[in-house]
Amino acid sequence: MKPVNVGIVGLGTVGSGTFNVLSRNAEDIARRAGRAITVTHVGARRDNPNADTSAVKVSRDVLQVVEDPEIDIVVELIGGTTLAKELVLKAIHNGKHIVTANKALIAEHGNEIFTAAQNKGVNVSFEAAVAGGIPIIKAIREGLSANRIDWVAGIINGTGNFIMSEMAEKGREFDDVLKEAQELGYAEADPTFDVEGIDAAHKLTILASIAFGIPLQFEKVYTEGITKITREDVSFAHELGYRIKHLGITRQTDTGVELRVHPTLVPASQLLANVDGVMNAVMVHSDAVGPTLYYGPGAGAEPTASAVVADVVDVARALTTDPKNRVPHLAFRADSLSDLPILPIEEVETGYYLRMHAKDQPGVMAKIASVLSKANINIEAIIQKDQVDDTSPVPLIMLVRKVIESEMNAALDTIRELDVLVDDIVRIRLETLVH
């Protein structure tokens, strides 16, 4: 079957990320989509050293991509609302499906764009426009389709959340953190869009419309930034058991829809209060399921590309497969499942928590440490408690770094043979979950 041809317009951070993900994961993506997805045309005013486009057609006049008769899907990643709008409407007119990460374009011109798309029978997908790599559009439009949604509250601007997190964790002042965020590349030279909540308002506009089935109404969002939050307020909020987060909130009430972006105190025990740094999270409360929360990176080249490419795969699946079996049962086509072996537990590598009760005699700790050391097992932490009374055995707790289970088993057998323990070793596996 002939590949689905994709044209990417804009080769900045997200454009190059999208190009690279589609290329690197091409094989897995084809197994999922049921057919190859190929970038055949890139529209970019200049090259990007992060993306090797030497094998594809590149046009400096980006409008040439939407005129290319070979292209099935146009991926719009130039940003802004002037050229992007013209380009998207032309592509729709030419019968192309659209995938975009452009929150401003959708929030401000989505009603017009969707009408044009519907008239031409094409699709406009915008998963990447809200909360970067988190599949929140899909979760709300499809995953929660059984529910009457009560409200949506989200940390939907990574720059703002980085600033609020640094102020909270390190007691720093707003201006100081903003300056660092600019140096790290998290914030623009003109940070207005992020710190004044305009970017979050664009995203909230989209969330409200898909949650409640209302037209996009960006101009009605109440928007308040974080520039006036002081270290003092962050500190008092902590003292009262709260964190201050810059939230976008939309709620359906008996009289209408709330649509607001502002700094908000949130109880410290809420997961949303514990979403730190540049990460995003969206909490949705609805009548059947109750609370659900979606967390992940809200920006960056490949996280955003993840959402863009998921939209491309969605369109490719729709263009390819029997509509009644759009998504393969096990995500990948049944005839392309992999025969990767399942590893026995002895071959699994994890960290460990160990608890032993040692006999109260000299040198026990040294003997045990020596066994672990000879087996190249690294101790990360130790707790050795004083004995409660003369007759209680001494509890010895150790955390050890990642080791193959069979090697751990062998070391524990050797420790048992030392005959220094009063009962068997308790061991619990440990995972840091960081990469």
Q: For residue 95, give the 3-state DSSP assignment.
A: coil
Query: CA–CA separation, 374 vs 407, rounded Å?
Result: 11
Least CB distance to a second copy at residue 355 (A) = 6
Query: CA–CA separation, 149 vs 285, rounded Å?
Result: 6
Catalytic residue among 103, 138, 203, 245: 203
Contact with a second copy (CB under 8 A) among 92, 286, 358, 377: 286
Q: Is 59 in the site for a second copy (CB under 8 A)?
A: no
Least CB distance to a second copy at residue 110 (A) = 7
Q: Is 84 in the site for a second copy (CB under 8 A)?
A: no
Q: Is 215 in the site for a second copy (CB under 8 A)?
A: yes
Query: CA–CA separation, 51 vs 290, rounded Å?
Result: 43
Q: Is 282 in the site for a second copy (CB under 8 A)?
A: no
Q: Taking CB under 8 A as the criterion, which residues in 345-384 touch a second copy?
A: 345, 347-348, 350-351, 353, 355, 381, 383
- For residue 281, count CB atoms less than 10 angstroms from its CB and return exposed for 0-12, middle for 13-18, buried for 19 or more: buried
Q: With CB under 8 A as the rule, give the number of residues binding a second copy.
A: 150
Q: Return the CA Rg of the chain.
A: 27
Q: Is 121 in the site for a second copy (CB under 8 A)?
A: yes
Of 373, 370, 365, the C-alpha closest to 397 is 365
Least CB distance to a second copy at residue 60 (A) = 27
Query: CA–CA separation, 432 vs 435, rounded Å?
Result: 8
Q: What are phi and psi of 124, to 5 degrees?
A: -115, 115
List residues bridging with 98 in a β-sheet. 74, 124
Least CB distance to a second copy at residue 237 (A) = 6
* Whether 96 is catalytic: no
Least CB distance to a second copy at residue 117 (A) = 7
Query: CA–CA separation, 419 vs 248, rounded Å?
Result: 61
Q: Is 164 in the site for a second copy (CB under 8 A)?
A: no
Q: Taking CB under 8 A as the criterion, which residues in 298-317 touch a second copy?
A: 302-303, 305-310, 312-315
Q: Taking CB under 8 A as the criterion, which residues in 177-206 touch a second copy?
A: none
Residues known to be catalytic: 203
